[in-house]
């Protein structure tokens, strides 16, 4: 990356009256939108956006965001055991499920037109390094294999973090009452790689460690070879 790219992009746009608008922004598209909004849209009272919301036909035409079933991702909280479907008290109508129950849930979701799930593991065993998170027979790994075997068309996202797997509840290795960032990166990368090996379509890290995307990148070639269409949410 050049020094120019490393800095904020600067865009100059000529507008109708013949003067230049200068705007530093994080990227070219953001700068373009900022300038367009600020200099090319006349302020109130000339601009009256409520007219675009006058009726449903206008709202349908001009709305920027549309939600459809394809946009939904259903959360599945996976626990050890069989035939378990236990409601989470603080999340009405959301359940902790065993792997077999999660597979049945995926069948129902596909019938409803919901084609994506995100998996959160709740292991029976926890330790100081969260080893269950990157165990090939961990709870998420087992759920991944089972869901992909039964429903290969289901898009499966996995949460990558250690807090649910550690005995102390923190997102990484703790030494001297402090989370060790760099030591944790090694374990997070192992977790992400294990998810890819078991069939994850999207890896979604939720930890708070610095540098974890770069660390994943060092394993990226191997992950892509395992699953060529794997995505990484940054």
Q: Give the domains, in start order, of the chain with CATH numbers.
A: 3-62 (no CATH), 69-232 (3.20.20.70)
Q: Which residue has the tokens 């849930």?
A: 105
Nearest to 147 by CA among 78, 205, 85, 95: 78
pTM of the model: 0.72
> Picking from 21-30, 50-59, 213-222, which range would have the lowest pLDDT averaged per residue?
21-30
* Of 129 and 45, more confident: 129
Is the CB of residue 117 less than 8 Å from the CB of residue 175?
no
Round the average pLDDT of the chain to a whole number and report it: 82
Band of residue 40 on the pLDDT scale cut at 50, 70, 90: low
Residue 4 has pLDDT above 60, yes or no: no
The torsion of the CA quartet 225, 226, 230, 232, rounded to 10 degrees, works out to: -90
**Amino acid 50: pLDDT:** 85
In degrees, to the nearest 5, what angle opens at C-alpha 110 toward C-alphas 107 and 112?
Answer: 115
Is the CB of residue 164 less than 8 Å from the CB of residue 122?
yes
**Amino acid 223: pLDDT:** 58
Convert the pLDDT of each residue in 60-86 to its tens digit: 888 888 888 889 999 999 999 999 999
Could you give the 3-state DSSP secondary structure of residue 212? helix
Nearest to 140 by CA among 92, 177, 190, 182: 190
β-pair type (74-79, 91-97): parallel
The torsion of the CA quartet 11, 14, 18, 21, rounded to 10 degrees, works out to: -30
């Amino acid at each position: 990356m050049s020094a120019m790219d490393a800095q904020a992009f600067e865009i100059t746009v000529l507008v109708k009256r013949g003067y230049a608008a200068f705007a530093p922004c994080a990227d070219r598209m953001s700068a373009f939108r900022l300038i367009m909004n600020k200099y090319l849209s006349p302020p109130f009272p000339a601009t009256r956006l409520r007219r675009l919301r006058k009726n449903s036909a206008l709202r349908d035409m001009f709305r920027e965001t549309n939600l459809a079933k394809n946009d939904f991702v259903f959360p599945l909280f996976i626990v050890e055991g069989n035939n378990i479907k236990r409601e989470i008290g603080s999340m009405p109508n959301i359940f902790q499920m065993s792997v077999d129950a999660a597979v049945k849930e995926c069948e129902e979701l596909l019938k409803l037109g919901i084609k994506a799930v995100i998996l959160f593991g709740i292991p029976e065993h926890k330790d100081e390094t969260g080893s269950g998170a990157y165990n090939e027979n961990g709870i998420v790994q087992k759920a991944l294999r089972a869901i992909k075997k039964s429903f290969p068309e289901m898009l499966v996202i996995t949460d990558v973090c250690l807090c649910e797997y550690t005995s102390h509840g923190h997102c990484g290795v703790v030494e001297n009452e402090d989370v060790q960032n760099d030591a944790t990166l090694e374990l997070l990368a192992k977790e992400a790689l294990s998810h890819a090996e078991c069939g994850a379509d999207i890896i979604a890290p939720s930890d708070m460690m610095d540098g974890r995307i770069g660390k994943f990148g060092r394993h990226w070639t191997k992950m892509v070879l395992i699953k060529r269409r794997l995505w990484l949410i940054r």
